[in-house]
Amino acid sequence: MPRASVVGAGMTEFGPHDKTLSELFAEAALPAMADAGVERGDVDALFVGNTLGGTTENDTHLGPKLASHVGLAGVPTQRFEDACATSSNAFKHAVRAVESGPHDVVLVGGVERCTPETGLDTPEMTKAFVSAADRQYEQPAGITFPGVFGLLTKRHMHEYGTTEEQLARVAVKNHANGTLNPRAHFGKETDVESVLDSPLVADPFRLMDCCPFSDGASAVVVASEAFADSFDAPVDVTGIGHATDIVPIADKERLTATHSAREAASQAYEEAEIGADDVDFCELHDCFTGAEVLATEALGFFADGEGGPAAEAGRTELDGEIPINPSGGLKAKGHPIGATGTAQIVELTEQIRGEVGSRQVPEATTGLAHNLGGDTATTLVTVMEART
């Protein structure tokens, strides 16, 4: 099967930005186009992810607006919304579009504003986020997203003995990685005691177990196999998996399994003809520390129940056997919802090119991204590899 490649990447710093969605998107899209060396006329289509703009800013139909802002008015556009998995789904469709023929070069990215710069306070933004949970059978209970992952993680603790200290180690690691990433929302180290002493959000999660509300944008240029060779540093997309799971979470077969992640990983590994052991590093969806533990098990890095002990033993640190979230992850890099998926693709691209300086994973030739949306209802898993 012909393969797509990422030939250009760009992203903003994640954190508070007093800028419009269009302005933010341009700060990722124009550097991505410059990195690829493409201009108006070279780009066949724009695929873009944004989750909350309609709810929080009365701003929809973003495809042509963002295309106009970056000089691409006239190209076909498509806007995607899949909760926190929004822009990895946009990326998947860009990849499939260049693999199957309709386009040769696609600009794909995501943009979101979630901080108080939007004029919304924490309760208002928490309510906007929870629109991704079941409207009739979950939201009336007063659930939040820290609460959804709190329910899954408390069950994991009950079944396997996972501890709050093990969860805290995830936050400590991702904060340490974040200090090495100039685009990270948080650039400060923390320690287990500080995590455990931070205020409760939804037990077992304290403030320092949770990713922040961030603003930001990310974008990459995807090219078809026929075009990729003409670019300087193509990084190949060798496998993508995409699966969903039952909503509401109460009806899932196993609360701790994150089934959509297992199914998406299985698809991605099969397409890339690799296994979990072949992955050199991974960017995964650590919206909460417990989510990282569940994901490392679902992706096959550790057996069920071993994710917590593995984090505690340092096996997922930058110099561990499988570095997880070298960028700092959602926890430290930040989580502008619709921009997170393609930001993971930016990190995979730059790690595999060997461009990330002090957070570089040695011999990073195979990277995996795991982007999860809603109450573990959507997951996309992407495998990228160095061109050989």
Partner 1 sequence: MSESDPAVDRFLEGSDAGLTHTAWKRALREDVLLGEACADCGHRSGAPRAACVRCGSRELEPIALPTSGEVITETTIAVPPEGFDGPHTVAIVELDAARIMAGVEESVDIGDSVELVGVLERDDEPGPLFG
Q: Which residues does the annotation mark as catalytic?
A: 84, 335
In the bound complex, what is the minimum distance in angstroms from residue 66's beta carbon to partner 1?
29
Structure-token pair, residue 59:
């701003």
Q: Can you tell me the distance from the alpha carbon of 75 to that of 115, in angstroms, rounded to the nearest whole number?
A: 31
DSSP code per residue over 201-232: EETTEEGGGBPPP-BEEEEEEEE-HHHHTTSS
Q: Can you tell me the distance from the alpha carbon of 158 to that of 151, in angstroms, rounded to the nearest whole number?
A: 11
Q: Can you tell me the distance from the alpha carbon of 313 to that of 235, in angstroms, rounded to the nearest whole number?
A: 32
Whichever of 201 and 221 has its CB closer to partner 1, that residue is 201
Structural contact between residues 110 and 47, judged by C-beta atoms closer than 8 angstroms: no
In the bound complex, what is the minimum distance in angstroms from residue 268's beta carbon to partner 1?
24
The β-bridge partners of 71 are none
Whichever of 99 and 164 has its CB closer to partner 1, that residue is 164
In the bound complex, what is the minimum distance in angstroms from residue 130's beta carbon to partner 1?
5
Whichever of 62 and 130 has its CB closer to partner 1, that residue is 130
Structure-token pair, residue 300:
């096959």
Count helices and strands in the chain by DSSP H and E runs: 14, 11
In the bound complex, what is the minimum distance in angstroms from residue 253's beta carbon to partner 1?
7
In the bound complex, what is the minimum distance in angstroms from residue 162's beta carbon to partner 1?
13
DSSP code per residue over 314-337: TTTSTTSSS-B-TT-HHHHH---G
- Residue 144, classed as helix, strand or coil, is coil
Q: Can you tell me the distance from the alpha carbon of 354 to that of 336, in angstroms, rounded to the nearest whole number?
A: 25
Whichever of 126 and 266 has its CB closer to partner 1, that residue is 126
- Residue 385, classed as helix, strand or coil, is strand
**Measuring CA to CA, how many Å separate 366 from each of 143, 280, 291, 296, 384?**
37, 5, 22, 16, 6
Whichever of 119 and 140 has its CB closer to partner 1, that residue is 140
In the bound complex, what is the minimum distance in angstroms from residue 169's beta carbon to partner 1?
21
Whichever of 130 and 176 has its CB closer to partner 1, that residue is 130
As a residue count, the chain comes to 388
Whichever of 78 and 144 has its CB closer to partner 1, that residue is 144
CA contacts within 13 A on the Cβ side of 323: 24
Whichever of 155 and 353 has its CB closer to partner 1, that residue is 155
Does the CA dihedral 226-353-379-295 come out positive or negative?
Answer: positive
Q: What is the dihedral of CA 289, 294, 299, 302, to 10 degrees?
A: 100
In the bound complex, what is the minimum distance in angstroms from residue 133's beta carbon to partner 1?
9
In the bound complex, what is the minimum distance in angstroms from residue 161's beta carbon to partner 1?
13
Contacting positions for partner 1 (CB under 8 A): 122-124, 126-127, 130, 134-144, 146-147, 150-152, 154-155, 158, 199-204, 246, 248-251, 253, 255
Q: Can you tell me the distance from the alpha carbon of 153 to that of 297, in angstroms, rounded to the nearest whole number?
A: 13
